Structure formats: C-alpha cells, structure tokens
A and B are shown apart, each in its own frame.
Chain A
C-alpha cells in the first residue's frame, strides 16, 4: 500500500498543482487583456459545475470518456509508443457498440449491454492493433499510421452508420435497443435527469486495472521494459514485437470502450460526424497532465472535464469566449512539461527544504 500513497505524496503532486494554478493565472491575464472579468468568469465556471445537480452529473458525463482516452494514450506511452490514434479507436468503438446495440436482438438486458461494450472495446483494440502490428512487423512509424487510421475510422464509421444503421431522413443512426443501454435510471433521477451511466464506474475500474496490470504483473513489467529500453528488453529475452502489438491492442481497448460508453450510456445513437470529435486528442492532454499514471489521469480527466463543461457557463455568466479554457489547459500542460519553469517559481520555497534528491 505504501507505493499507492507515494503517488499522492507532496513531490509528485506539487508540479501539477503549481502548474494548474499558473495555468489559471495565465487564463486570467488573457481575460484581463481582453477586457473581461476573470474572477466573475472563474466563479461562474465553478458555479456552473457545482451549482446544481444536473450540471454536476453532466460534468461527470463529460469526464468519463476523457478518462478512457487518457488511459489509452498513457498505456501506450508507458510502453514507449505514442498513440495519437485514440481518436480513431474511440470512433470505431462507438460504431461497433452502436451496431451491436441496434442489430443484435433477443438478448436479455444486462447481457446485451455487456456484448455491446465488448464489441466497442474490441473494435478499438483491433484498430490500434493494426498500428501496433504494422509498427512491429514493418517498422512503420506508429504516429503516421495512427493519424491515417483516425481519418479512415471516421469515414468508415460514417459509411457504416449511413448505409446500415441510419434513422430514415436523419443524419444519425437509429436508437439502440433498451436492452443495450447502460444508463442508470435511478441515478439520473437523482441528478435531475443528467445522463449518468455505468461507463463511469467501469472507467474507474479500468484505471485500477491499468495500475495493477502495469505495476503488478509480469506482462506489465515487460511492457514497461520495452518502453524504457527496447534493446535491453530484447537482450533479456523479451519479445519486443509482440509486446508492441499487445500494448497498442490494450491501449485501443481503453479508447474503444470510451466510445462505447458514450453511445450506450449517453446518446443511445451515433451521429454522422462532420468532423473529428476530438475526445481522443484531448486524451493526449489528459494523459500528460496526469503524468501518464492511471490515478493521475482520473484527477486530470476530472480537471479537464470540469474546465470544459464549465466553460459554457463561463461564456454565459461572464461573456468570456469558452475557447479561453483551451488556452488555460494548454498553459497547464506547458508548465507541467517545462518543469524548469515551475521549479524556478518554487525556488524560494525549495531553499528552505533539504537538498533536492539527485535523479
């Protein structure tokens, strides 16, 4: 248990916390330059999110897919791979879950949902697995393949929805059957009809799985070894190639599940996309702010979701363009990445403490 607490110790939390504060300050300065009132803006942001149960529930809804794509990106990162393709994996996950949710009939209520979730996860896993396979077998750069597969996934998914699942005359699929829904009716009632669903619970379990798998299993050890130093891992007798495919496959499952939750728990249908939804790309930011650690990601997804959902209230309450939030998030990542700046800010405090540990 000691290790578990270690994650929450002061040193590892300090940089992100200071970065968040600095990011919010940058946002405030930019609002001041633009002639807005930052205090009013931030207070209306937080009163939106925490002001009533509906919006609080919807914020949790916003956070859930970010946890999944964040975990997806971080999982690949830990194995030394950059999964910029979470976007595409998320999309194909949505479509697979929609297809199973609509087309598969006669299954009982819980089973149907489980099958649909598995379908979404597998679709995402396979989509990422293609990237992993091509990287391992042909040595093709995973970034470029992922980018290509994002667009391919988007159009493939639109094709499937338009030709096989379409609600006549609409730019979206039919509704999934009630048996495939993972919405939690009584919880939604509690949260004044906010769209609550089991996906949130599974997302938290997924983070726990990530932790246990990565740090408590032999397989996870191999993935980290491959990520840390491929040559050393190979010398130690590990199969680098199969580990690359596995890492991408599992990473894709996370993203695909995120997409499946969104369909089965929130919308109950899939729209034809006019552009990329962006949840996968946001997952990169979530993973980075969460320091690529599953529990960090839970926190950073919560922060990201709160800021994003609250930004709508901010523009309503203080008339600030909601895009300011992307500047804030960008600055937070900037300060986390450029830790030198944060250390410089913290220097006066550090001097009083013991010498820094040598890394």
Chain B
C-alpha cells in the first residue's frame, strides 16, 4: 500500500466531510458572537441544501451547464438570508426566546422544503438528480506537492471557499471595528449601546450572516455529496456544526479545527477497512467514533466553555 497516497486521500476526504461543517460553524459564530443563540443552524442548512438542489436543477434545465452549481450556491445564500430573518425578527425585535425561535427555524425548514419539493416535482420526495454537481479543482503546481497536494490542493471549490471564509471571518471579528462592535454587542450590549453601537442592527447583521453561511454549508452537501435534496440530506450536520463552534470556543480558527476534527473522525471510518485488525470492529462503533471522541476531548482538554456573556438574552434598553 502506498502510504503517501493513502494519507493524502484521507486528508482529502477529511476536508470534503468538513467543508459543510466549517461554513455552518462560521455562521454560528457570527450569530452567537452578536449575542443571539442559533440552534436553527440545522434548519438554515436544510434551506440551503434545498435551494441549491432546486436552483441548480433549473439552471441546468436552462442550459447553464457547469455554471449551474454556482447559481445553486447563490440561491442558497439568498434563501439563507431570508430564513434567518424569521429568527432575527422573532428573537431580536419581538424578544422571543432565542432557543425557541431557533427550533422554529428547524421545524419550518423540514416542513416547507419538502412541501415545496413535492409541489414543484409532482409529489416526488426529492429533487431530480443533478447532472452538473461541483467538480474537484486541482490547483496548478501546488497539487503536485506530496500528501498536501492530494490532500488539500485537489479539492472542491467549496472547500477552498470555506478556508477563505475562516480567514476572512477571523480577520473581520478581531481586526475590524465592525468585528469589535459585533463582539461588544454579544458581551455587553448596554455598554455597546452607550457608546453608540446600534445593538439591534448589529444583531440582525450577525444573524443574517449566519443564515447565509449555514445555507452555503447546506448547499455544499447537495452540490458535492448527494447531488439531490431529500428529507435526509441534512440530518444532524447543523447540530454537529454547533458543537464545533462551542468546541472551538466561538473562535473561527478554533471552530475550523473542531470541524476538521469531526470531518477526520468521519473520514477515518472509511479507512479502517484497510487494516486487518480493524475488520473485527463493529461498524456501529466506527459510526460512533466522532461523537465519542468529541465527548472525550471536551471532557479531557477543553472543560468550561466560554460563551459570549450576553448570549441568549434579548436586548432590552430599559433594563439596567
């Protein structure tokens, strides 16, 4: 067996599995850093996966060829922005419990996407299979490097985009005044308000960015993995992304690491069969691995999590 190739492939699969989680976790960070809990990430991903499946299909139908997956991604961003507005209006303007309004997003997502699929495609339970899903890009020169060439630089465009988003998110949060305001609003909204930061506006922006990014994560699943949207295209990835965000302590780089860790423990299951001794491990234990590993790592290494101080509390200017 060629070890160099195997490790390269393992790295590649890891990133494929991680990409959707990275997008969604970055989304979660923007919302929660602004002080709005977003348990609706799962639903926002569902919306995105749906939009990508439908829009890409119609784009293909209209003869847009290889451009159609990108139309799907754009559609996902738009629907993500709109859907996250529901969460924003309920939890920011009407001061609803943020967990509840996140649950609402999840319910509306599973309900309305399947309803629309059935409406559009004469009662079918899934969108038609896409002909033009995303293809992997080999970056010139870089893809020739051993291990990381195969592992990192021969990947889906969404993966490159996800990595760029992590860097940009990190820059925005810690190096721009916008990022400082966003974090201030999540830590101490009344102090931020005193110095003239528009608390509600910042929170709206945070939630909407999270909608766009989570939906992009959902679109990634449709466009790179399943090529169709059905009831189980998104089944739990949103919650895993939330876990990655908490695991990464609400920090883009940390959450990126956690998402890659999840992707890795999912990917490694596929590679266990290469080893003779692993044949005796029941497949259920391999499926379980990412979740058990997370619990162990959390308990052993991370411990007390440090959420934004004002997370989950509606901002009420009249309150002391």
Contact = CB atoms under 8 A, between A and B. Distances in A.
A334 B243 contact: no
B284 interface: yes
Nearest to A145: B295
B284 A323 contact: no
Given A281-B106, A334-B96, A334-B101, 18 more contacts: A134-B299, A147-B236, A148-B295, A149-B295, A155-B284, A156-B284, A159-B285, A288-B100, A321-B115, A321-B118, A323-B111, A323-B112, A323-B114, A327-B115, A333-B103, A333-B104, A334-B108, A338-B101
A290 B285 CA distance: 37
B288 A156 contact: yes
B103 A159 contact: no
Interface stretch (B1-9, B72-80, B133-141, B301-309): B301-309
Contacts of B106: 281, 330
B58 interface: no
A327 B112 contact: yes
Interface of A: 30, 34, 82, 84, 134, 138-141, 143-145, 147-149, 151-152, 155-156, 158-159, 162-163, 275-276, 281, 284-285, 288, 321, 323-331, 333-334, 336-341
A285 B104 CA distance: 8
Contact of B111 (A84, A324, A336, A339): A324
B119 interface: yes
Contacts of B111: 323-330
B99 interface: yes
Contacts of A151: 236, 287-288, 290-291
A337 B298 contact: no
A56 B83 CA distance: 36
Nearest to B245: A144
Nearest to B87: A334
B213 to A, nearest CB: 19
A145 B243 CA distance: 8
A288 B115 contact: no
Interface in B77-111: 86, 89-90, 93-97, 99-101, 103-108, 110-111
Nearest to B295: A148
Given A140-B303, A144-B242, A337 B285 contact: no
B282 A323 contact: no
Interface centre among A34, A145, A329 (most CB of B within 10 A): A145
Nearest to A340: B94
B contact residues, range? 35 or more
A276 B235 contact: yes
Nearest to A27: B111
Contacts of A147: 236, 239-240, 242-243
B226 interface: no
15 contacts: A139-B305, A144-B294, A152-B291, A155-B288, A158-B284, A159-B285, A275-B235, A285-B103, A323-B111, A323-B115, A326-B111, A327-B112, A331-B104, A337-B94, A338-B95
Contact of B101 (A30, A158, A326, A337): A337
B207 interface: no
Interface in B228-281: 232, 235-236, 239-240, 242-243, 246-247
Contacts of A156: 284, 288
A138 B299 contact: yes
B243 A148 contact: yes
Interface centre among A34, A333, A340 (most CB of B within 10 A): A333
B64 interface: no
Contacts of B94: 337-341
B142 interface: no
Contacts of B123: 321
Given A151-B291, A339-B96, A141 B108 contact: no
Nearest to B97: A337
A319 to B, nearest CB: 9
B292 interface: yes
B243 to A, nearest CB: 4
B305 A140 contact: yes
Given A321-B118, A330-B107, A152 B288 contact: yes
Nearest to A326: B111
